[in-house]
Amino acid sequence: MATLSQFDVLALRREFPILQQEVHGKPLAFLDSAASSQKPRQVIDCLEDYYRRFNANVHRGVYKLSEEATFAYERARGKVARFLGAASPREIVFTRNATEAINLVAYSWGGANLGPGDRILLTIMEHHSNIVPWQMLAQRSGAQLDYLSIDSQGRLALEELDTKLSERTKLVAVAHQSNVLGTINPIAELAQRAHAVGALLLVDAAQSVPHLPVDVQALGCDFLAFSGHKACGRPGSVGCGHAAHCSKRCRLFSAAAR
């Protein structure tokens, strides 16, 4: 592993064409990657190659360009599966954005499995994309929302799980890494606690996937959403999820614009 003294910042900057410009007479320093990352040369070249050589609708044609576009699309699904440690590319569902991925869970699985008296456990550090879908689901289904609080260090008050997690809890939805606090939550532990009462765990990994190694099998999560455009991908790119339930477990991974 390279030490800090071996890390070549200038070489890395050269991989990002947008960083070669100056702003107000100074080299551009981009500090908003939590909202959207800049794109390296490899991504830009790949997009240009697609538009130059085989731009066509995916899964909707039997001619050469469409078949090549479909092959590239499905190959990307396999790459995302390997990147996340998913058991199969079939667990990957592409969506337009992470918000849509979370809403997909809320409207499909949530609509079919939640009713009056059921509970959804969130945390007070969630991005609104991981709050509003559950608020709307609660209104539609009659389910109730609970929230884990945080301590003075910005960490989840896990001791509250003893009272706020019960057999009435059907879903726990939590950020892997907070976009505001930077807190990294103990997802594997939360998954174990949720599964112990029969609940599923959804993870908003929009901030963690671009910055941390993420293995969905090691985490034990049932759904996971992340934004590809925060991880050097193009806006509105790809997302993911599981089309079939396996032994009562399904995963949704979204790599797209939030």
Summarize pLDDT for 126-135 with one digit per residue, the tens: 999 999 999 9
Task: Answer yes or no: do 96 and 193 share one domain.
Answer: yes
Q: Is 146 exposed, middle or buried (0-12, 13-18, 19+ CB in 10 A)?
A: middle
Task: Answer yes or no: do 197 and 96 share one domain.
Answer: yes
Task: Answer yes or no: do 194 and 221 share one domain.
Answer: yes
**What is the longest distance spanned by two Cα atoms in the chain?**
60
Residue 31 forms part of a structural domain:
yes
pLDDT tens-digit readout, 117-153: 999 999 999 999 999 999 999 999 999 999 999 999 9
Residue 135 forms part of a structural domain:
yes
Task: Answer yes or no: do 13 and 66 share one domain.
Answer: yes
Residue 244 forms part of a structural domain:
no
Task: Answer yes or no: do 163 and 126 share one domain.
Answer: yes
Residue 236: predicted pLDDT? 61
Residue 7: predicted pLDDT? 82
Residue 181 forms part of a structural domain:
yes
For residue 101, the domain's CATH number is 3.40.640.10
Q: How many domains does the chain have?
A: 2
Return d(Cα 29, Cα 94) in angstroms, integer: 31
Task: Answer yes or no: do 66 and 92 share one domain.
Answer: no
Strand ranges across the sheet with 144-148: 144-148, 119-123, 169-175, 200-204, 223-225
Residues of the chain with pLDDT under 70: 1-5, 236-258
**Domain-terminating residue out of 20, 41, 71:** 71
Determine the structural domain holding residue 31 and report its residue range: 4-71
